[in-house]
Amino acid sequence: MDRHIINSSDTVLDALGKLNCLSGQVMTLFVVEPDGRMSGTLTDGDIRRGLLAGATPKSEVSTVMHRSFKSLGPETIDLALLREFREKGVRLIPRLDADGRIIEIIDTTITPTRLPISAILMAGGKGERLRPLTLETPKPLLKIGGKAIIDYNVDMMERSGIRNIRVAVNYMADKIEAHFSERHNGSEIECVHEDSPLGTIGAASLMDHTPGGDTLVMNADLLTSLSLEEMYLHHLDNKADITIAAIPYNVAVPYAILSTEGGLVNAIEEKPSYSYYANAGIYIISNELLNSLPKGKRTDATDLIEQAIAAGRNVGYYPISGIWIDIGSPTDFAHAQELMRQHRLLADT
Final residue of a domain: which of 40, 72, 107? 107
CA gap 249, 19 in Å, rounded = 52
Bridge partners of 244, per DSSP, are 283, 317
State whether 192 and 69 are in the same domain.
no
Final residue of a domain: which of 54, 73, 107? 107
**Any idea what the CATH number is for the domain that residue 172 is in?**
3.90.550.10
State whether 96 and 179 are in the same domain.
no
State whether 210 and 342 are in the same domain.
yes
337 domain-assigned = yes
234 domain-assigned = yes
**Strand pairing category for 214-219 and 273-286:** antiparallel
- pLDDT tens string 117-149: 999 999 988 777 878 777 888 989 998 888 899
| Count of domains observed in the chain | 2
Residue 236, helix vs strand vs coil: helix
State whether 187 and 95 are in the same domain.
no
Start-to-end C-alpha separation, the chain: 34
CA gap 141, 121 in Å, rounded = 13
Q: What is the pLDDT of residue 48?
A: 92
State whether 129 and 64 are in the same domain.
no
298 domain-assigned = yes
**Any idea what the CATH number is for the domain that residue 39 is in?**
3.10.580.10
pLDDT string in tens for the chain (349-residue length): 688 999 999 999 999 999 888 877 888 999 999 999 999 999 989 999 999 999 999 999 999 999 988 888 888 788 888 888 888 888 899 999 999 999 989 888 888 888 999 999 999 887 778 787 778 889 899 988 888 999 999 999 999 989 899 999 998 888 989 888 876 566 778 999 988 888 889 999 999 898 989 999 999 998 888 999 999 999 999 999 999 999 998 899 999 999 998 889 999 999 989 889 999 999 999 999 999 999 888 999 999 999 999 999 999 999 998 888 888 888 888 888 888 777 664 444 3
User: How distant, in Å, are the alpha carbons of 60, 167, 320, 347 from that of 188?
Assistant: 41, 11, 28, 30
Chain mean pLDDT for the chain: 88
State whether 46 and 191 are in the same domain.
no
Final residue of a domain: which of 107, 139, 172? 107
State whether 160 and 102 are in the same domain.
no
State whether 136 and 204 are in the same domain.
yes
Residue 312, phi-psi category: left (phi > 0), alpha (psi -120 to 50), beta (remainder):
left
Q: What is the pLDDT of residue 1?
A: 65
State whether 232 and 146 are in the same domain.
yes
81 domain-assigned = yes
Ranges assigned E (strand) in 43-164: 92-96, 102-107, 118-123, 143-144, 147-148
Q: What is the pLDDT of residue 346?
A: 41
State whether 182 and 306 are in the same domain.
yes
CA gap 123, 218 in Å, rounded = 9
235 domain-assigned = yes
For residue 301, what are the domain limits? 118-242+283-348
250 domain-assigned = no
CA gap 121, 216 in Å, rounded = 8
267 domain-assigned = no
Q: How big is the CA angle at 34 (ends 30 and 38), to the nearest 5 degrees?
A: 30
Please write down the long-range contacts of 129-132, taking CB distance under 8 Å and 24 or more positions apart. 129/328, 129/329, 129/330, 130/327, 130/328, 130/329, 130/330, 130/333
55 domain-assigned = yes
State whether 199 and 329 are in the same domain.
yes
State whether 344 and 301 are in the same domain.
yes
